[in-house]
Amino acid sequence: MHRLIRSLLVAVGLCVTSLCAAGLAAGSARAQIFHPTQFTLENGLQVVLIEDHRAPVVQHMIWYKVGAADEAPNVGGVAHYLEHLMFKGTPEIGPGDFSKIVAREGGRDNAFTTADYTAYHQLIASDRLPLVMKMEADRMTQLAPPADEAKRELQVVIEERLSRIDNNPGALFGEQFDAAQFLAHPYGRPVIGWPAVVRQLTLDDAMTFYRSYYAPNNAVLVVAGDVAPADLKRLAEKYYGLIPMRPIPPRSRVQEPPQLAARRLVMTDERVAEPSLRRSYLAPSRTAGRSEYATALSVLAEILNAPTGRLYKALVEGDGPAASASAWYSSLSLDQTTFGFGAVPKSGQSLDAVEQGLDAVLATLLKDGITDDELQQAKLVMKADTVYARDSLTGAAQLFGTAVCTGVSVEQVEAWPQQVAAVTAAQVLAAAQYVFDERRSVTGRLLPKHQS
């Protein structure tokens, strides 16, 4: 995802409110950045439109408020497996034909699954919007993958895991790291699932998940591009409005207990070319934990991770021990998230030196806070990012879908510049002191085999 969209994703909203079922005029009147329109159909489907009439193109996305963290442990990976099966046919559209039809009409389509949501999207000419809405509504209710197709697709998922995870030591390390960070919460399980569990998934498992969660009252329609609000409302009512709402199981997740001790792990692999360090701290999101710190943490991430920010100056520049160093924080998570760091040492330097350098950066931050210059520069960068964020149909649609599916309202997305502008240096320091507690940390090292 483009950096400016990532910046906006981590900077929206301060606290949780529900998405208002506002009328068209009311939705537009409060717009400040994207000028979104929002409404809710009688069956509970939430709709968000970001108009952009520069080209006759639309990005159409259906988001379901369910992801890998909502699975039962014995069917881990079923949300992602179902995502694959959604392309395997209905009584109206044959297996694999959905994407073929979109491509034939000059469009592109795909889907993705995360811990908190699953999304299906098509980028297509605006006069073909009724077609993709009709097909997406069809598979919302009429999914019927043949058993042989489902069996073959499970092998595709297994091969995907093999190529993306099992053959990638960095990805394997990431799984181990997440499992160390989240002892109880399902964020500690991989979205694609653990190998032994994935191999045992069945079509019945996927269809049970589908019938439980895929309903209009558990979905969000986000459209960005060349369509007027009244036209979108008419089309949404025509294609999605007749689908009946259904009872949805409550999102009942085991919450992470307080972390009382720092955790460390070391992984070695003969495929690793150079060692690396990773550190993360359990952190609040917009909707979980001490959410009042979320905006200040977003600003702090910009200060630390800027091209000439604190990490670069202390760890990389001049005689610093690291060849690269970065920080990351994403506040759009339904439950508690993490604030993380990563670094790779320069040739001849040790991971001990890199870790000591990172510790020194954090110690100085916790003692002295940030400067007014750092604060103002971070705000300027985050403000500039929003100027360009409007240019991406895909990025705009992804931003609003992610926000709404993690409990952040459209109004909060629009209001984030004011919230960032209001952040003070004292608030950033308070947020850092809360999050960067050694007891809440996990530190990991990924090493070549010969360094074990």
CA distance 79 to 189: 12
Q: Is 38 helix (H, G, I), strand (E, B) or coil?
A: strand
What DSSP line would sit under 68-96, residue for residue?
GGGS-GGGTTHHHHHHHHTTS--SSS-TT
Q: In which element (H, E) is residue 125 found?
A: strand 118-125
Q: Is 435 helix (H, G, I), strand (E, B) or coil?
A: helix
Of residues 97, 101, 89, 100, the one with CA closest to residue 139: 89
Whether 153 is a known active-site residue: answer: no
Residue 319 has what DSSP assignment?
T
What DSSP line would sit under 140-203, residue for residue?
HH-----HHHHHHHHHHHHHHHIIIIIT-HHHHHHHHHHHHH-SSSGGGS-TT--HHHHTT--H
Give residue 408's identity as a one-letter amino acid code: V
Of the residues 51, 83, 149, 374, only one is catalytic, namely 83
CA distance 283 to 331: 9
Copy the structure tokens of residue 451: 């360094």
Strands 219-225 and 441-448: unpaired
CA distance 200 to 419: 47
CA distance 275 to 336: 29
Beta bridge partners of 264: 443
Give residue 300's identity as a one-letter amino acid code: L
Residue 137 CB neighbours (<10 A): 21
Residue 290 CB neighbours (<10 A): 15
Give residue 249's identity as a one-letter amino acid code: P
- Is residue 184 within 8 A of residue 255, CB to CB? The reply is yes
Residues designated catalytic: 83
